[in-house]
Structures are given as structure tokens and as C-alpha cells.
Structure 1
């Protein structure tokens, strides 16, 4: 029997749940006898609760996964983490489509999943708007859709949306710059963004600008790259040539940051503090080494696809997130964007992706 879930056609704005555990505490009052009875009852029930946990093997579920081509380290880590997660659960039959940056091909992949009758589709769209109609088609066919990273135009196109915090990345980077500037409102701030046409890039830039405004700073020079090493090096070289003085540089993406750092080294510039984005392992090693301009990076989790698969499994098996009191998986899960510095890099480096 195929597993299906009921799909609501109503919108639920504002349901944002951080990927930080929520601990619910309950209290009760009563007589000593009642308390003893409760304690005995809880003790008896504890093993059964442990045995019936979310990780216990359940009904077999077939989950299709599609994402863009792994043309940089973060995207490669997305799919690798999905595969690694599925291997931990014998009740997951994972079907992975070949990564593609061709929207029409990705639409075809989802249509194949629909025709094959999968139970759920976890989809990181190359273009969220373009993939919305086929995601709606899947939902209308009774297939649970989990939208990852790049949002659909219509929230009804997914049962769950798993997002990084792009705006929060910009805020975190801007707040770090403000702290390091120490009240110097004359500090020169530069920014190397990702693909400007993507909403995620726009959100990162807006968060950065908003945070800087709180300490009297703004972005004095800005260039957009394409999330690749080559574009990062080319854009950074042009920026460094045009700007004689920089105090702080925020680069949105650590994959393109490999090229940015190469351009900085070639230019012989070391007068500024650089902040990275996404949280790659090589960026964190640079931070640990503390011998160059890169002093911090802002996490953008590469676990989002794996989180999507795990949530799809819970929905299909009619389970919930056990650290929440709510008995259903939330509609929106947004992950946190912490700043990694030399002080806390050891906490994050083991789960970082390789550029």
C-alpha cells in the first residue's frame, strides 16, 4: 500500500521553526501518592517510548530527490548528505535524479517521479518559480513535496519548505563587521555577491545592508559573481583594482571565495578583514590558520536536502518532530546562520563541506 498524506490548500504565513531543538517542560502538582504513582508509570512507559522513536524502522517509503548540478562544493554536499542520510534508514527507498541546471530537464525528472508513483519528492529547484507548476501537479497527485532552499512561488506547491536563512546570513555578516569596526563609521565596506538575479542573493545583500545601517556603515563597493571559483577570482580582481582602500569585505559564498582569495593574494592586498559565506571546510581551515585576511564565515547549511528527506519520511510514516509539542511536522523549517570565527571554528569544521 502506498503512503499518502492529506494536503491542505490553505496558506499558513508566519510558521517559522528554527533548526534548534525546542524543549517542552511540563509540571504537575498533587499528593505524594500521586507523585509516586506518576513516577512509577513514567518509569514503566520510558522503554516503550524509546522503542517507538522516530528513528525506529517503519513502513517502506519511496522518496525521489532532484537538485541542480553539483558544479560547486556546497551543491555537491547537498546530494552527498542526502545519500548518506538515506543509507541510515533501511525503510527509505531513495531515487536520485541526475543533477541538472536545465529547468526543463528538472521538470521532466519530477514528472517521471510522478509517473513512477513515488511517495514523496524532495526538490531543490534550479529555479523555484519555474518548478512551481510541476510541484503543484505532484501535490495534486497526492505526492508529498518537500521544497528545499529555493522557494516555490506558491506555498501550496509543497507540504514542507526547508530553507537556509539568506537574509539572516547577511545580517550575521553585517553584525560581525559592525563589531569589528568598533564604531568607526568611516570604514570602507565591500561586497562580492553571488548571482544577482536569484532572490537568495538579493536577500543576503539586503540583510547585510540592514545590519550595517545599525552601526552607521553602508556598502561602498559591490560586485556580483556566479558562485564559482573562476567568477570569484575575476570579480575580486576587478574590485581590488578599482578600490584602493578596503577595511572589510564580505564574500557571499566560500566556493567562489577560493577564487576571491586567489585574487587577493595575486594583488598583494592584506589591509582588510574578509568574511566568507556558506561555511566550507577550506574556509574554516583558513580561519584556523589565521595567517590571511579571512577571519570569519557565515554558515549556510548543506544539510538542507537531507533534512528534507528526513522530514518527508516523518510525514509519510505519520510521525512528528519529537522535540516539538506540535503533533504534525511544521510547514516551514528555517535553519540558523551563525558566524564562525577562530573562537568557535572547532565546533563547526567537522560538518563543513569541501569546496
Structure 2
């Protein structure tokens, strides 16, 4: 199930769930609160709404990462029809844990009533959900039966409601319109129970040697008060230039691994940095037979949650035998990642 050869270990996604905090925040609201031009956001970013776990007026945190991940996980477990006590492991991927210790993964396990099982927390950007599935594959190949994969991010520590555009350089300002908060989860198994979407190939590869990062998120803490320190910066122009080409490499490598042709694809889950960039990437990939499954225009970029939010939208649309590619690019230090998915086809009964 990796692109490095060898017999693939079976991995199936049997249930998915998501969580988005509060009401959607549209571009008019961002314009009113931060003075960020609604017309500029519509034209250059294309994202219509996003959700925040904090109050735009006061900055008060209303939904933590643990809140969102627990909610998404509960929905995924219910969708899979799995008993919580049957879970053998939990893997959580995030850029923005609620604190260093205890880990958000263990906070979520506690809230779900889980105990006596291995838990893992992966520090990652947008590719984290794929990295978590890669770890889940290894755990299932080692003998575990069923596990829970979660991805999520929150922006409360990095977007300041008291700043104005006049205070912000462009590499900070763009983050106020790109990002939103959210979490997604998937129950995974060695058996095609529930939804039974098989992971036929999985790509996760660091490709950033010698390349400057496209995004930097600095550490939180007292040093944040240092004058001129930037907590969150985005080299949007470089990302816009590099991601389409990387997405094409991912797409063709996954097709080569599975032996599928472009016309065999029923669905495409493209990278989700912004709605405008997603449209450009889909046009560049040129797989016209595949139906696009995107969410970024409605949710904003939710980081580690994004592939799982897309997957949650894909699940009710897939029928037996249909195929999909999920393409993920992490621009913080350039990771190529992706999934080749196929809806399980029940074997014909003996006659």
C-alpha cells in the first residue's frame, strides 16, 4: 500500500466524521472585523466562508482542538458502526495542539472513554492525515484490527483579532482569509466493513531537501512578545507556483502504482489551500472524467482536517467499484502525499 513496492497490506476506511465550530464566517464579516477587502478575498482567494473556534470580536476560545477532534471521532465511530471499546489504537495529526503536554491525542482518547490502547500524535501540516493513515496501515499490518485516525487544526493562537491589515505584512495577512478551524476522523480496519473504501496506494514522501519553506508557524509562548516576531507566515506566491506541478507528480505516481488510467477515475480530491488555487490545480491535472470533491470554498483551509473533510464528502457519493485519488501537498517543507481509493465490491454469492 506504499509506492515503494511490495505486497500491499489491506487497509479500509469504514466510517468518517467531521466537526466545524460555530456558524460560517463569510468574507463580508472578515471585511467588517479586520478591514480585509471582501472583493479582494473573493477575487484572489475564492474562499467564501470558514469556521473559527474563537470569537472574532474578543478572541475568546469557544472550541478547542480536543473539542473538535472528539466530536469528529464520535461521528466516525457511529458511521462505522464500531464499538469504541473495539478500537485498537488512535492516531491524531495536527499542526496546532492545544498544549505540549498532555497531548491532544490523549485528551481525545480520555474524552471518548478509551483506555489501554496505544495513542500517537503526529506534528504535521496538510499531509498529516495521510501520514496518520500510513501509520495506521503499519499498525494494522502488525496485527491490530481496527483504529481511529483523526486530523484537525485551530487558529486561535496565530490569528489576532486586535490586529488590522495596516499592521500586517502580506505573508501574515493572507492567513486571515485562507484558514479555518475544523477536524475530521476516519475509522480504519483490515476488513471492508461499513463503508468499505479500500486504500489501494498511499504516497507520503518528503521532497524539500535544500528548498526554503513555503510556510512557517512559529512556537507559542512568552517569546511571542518579542518585537517584530511573526507567528505565521505564508509564501503564497511560491506555493501558488509550485503546488500545481507537485500535484501532477502525485497524481501520476499514484496512477502508475495502481495501474489505473486517468479515465478509470471517478473522483478527484485535489489539494485545498484556497478555492482559487484548487480550481487551477484541477484544470492543470486534466482528468475530466473524475468528479471533483472539494470543501475549501466553504470551510477554508483546515490543515490536517482537510483530506478527511473531503473523504467525508466522498463517502456518500461512491458506489461499489468506483475509484478516487486524493492529492495532498504540504508546503511548509514540501511533502508529496496522496491516496488511491476504491469502494469495496462485494463478492458474488456462490451459485
TM-score, reference length from structure 2: 0.30
TM-score, reference length from structure 1: 0.29
Which has the larger strand fraction? 2
Q: Which entry has the higher C-alpha Rg, 1 or 2? A: 1
